[in-house]
Amino acid sequence: MTEEQASWQTFGERSIYDSRWVRLGLTDVQAPNGQRWEYHVVHLHRIAIALVVDEHNRALMLWRYRFVTGQWGYELLGGLVEDGEEPAATAAREAAEESGWRPLGEPDHLISFEPLPGQVTAPVDVFLWRGAERVGEPTDTEEVGTLEWVPLRRVPELARRQELLGSGALVPLLYYCATRGLAGGQDEASESA
């Protein structure tokens, strides 16, 4: 099938709900087979995430409860990109607010992705820091949980046990480990060598 055969046509979108966090639209679309209808599309604001890794190959994460899915698990630190703010600045700010640890140095852009492209726009940008300094207690009282430096060798096990909450933790951690040969089973001493 060629790209032309597989392309969808859009004829506009009307908003049926809009808030600071989410917008729901109905998009007038025509599928490659010629059928045309209004398709529900959820638009979420851009999210920026900080992956902070220390010299012992541990990632700074928050163990918390998410009532929407009824799950406990680990998350990376991050949040909504404010108007006019650069995503890397958002990730650093959110990390400090949620953890009391400020990322050190300039970040590396690790990865960007759309977690549910079939019906949701939810751009996510992930930035990597190789260290952080303790600057105090967390100031974001909504993001409550237990802060922990989690050894990266545990990532495959945590993913298997569904203890990495959402794509904002799974994608960056699995990508980081895969691109650095940290497939699990190594001890911290060999990881930091």
pLDDT at 74: 98
Q: What φ, ψ does residue 153 adopt, rounded to 5°?
A: -65, -15
pLDDT digits (tens, 9 = 90+) for 18-43: 998 899 999 999 999 999 999 999 99
pLDDT at 183: 61
pLDDT at 182: 74
pLDDT at 187: 42
pLDDT at 190: 42
186 three-class SS:
coil
Ranges of the chain with pLDDT below 50: 185-193
This prediction has a pTM of 0.87
Tokens 């940290």 found at:
182
Could you give the CA distance from residue 53 to residue 58 in angstroms, rounded to a whole number?
5
Could you give the CA distance from residue 160 to residue 149 in angstroms, rounded to a whole number?
19
Q: Are strands 146-151 and 58-66 parallel, antiparallel or unpaired?
A: antiparallel
pLDDT at 186: 45
pLDDT at 185: 46
pLDDT at 48: 98
Give the residue among 191, 176, 184, 155 at the shortest CA–CA distance from 73: 155
Q: What is the DSSP string of 11-51?
A: EEEEEEEE-SSEEEEEEEEE-TTS-EEEEEEEEE--EEEEE
pLDDT at 4: 56
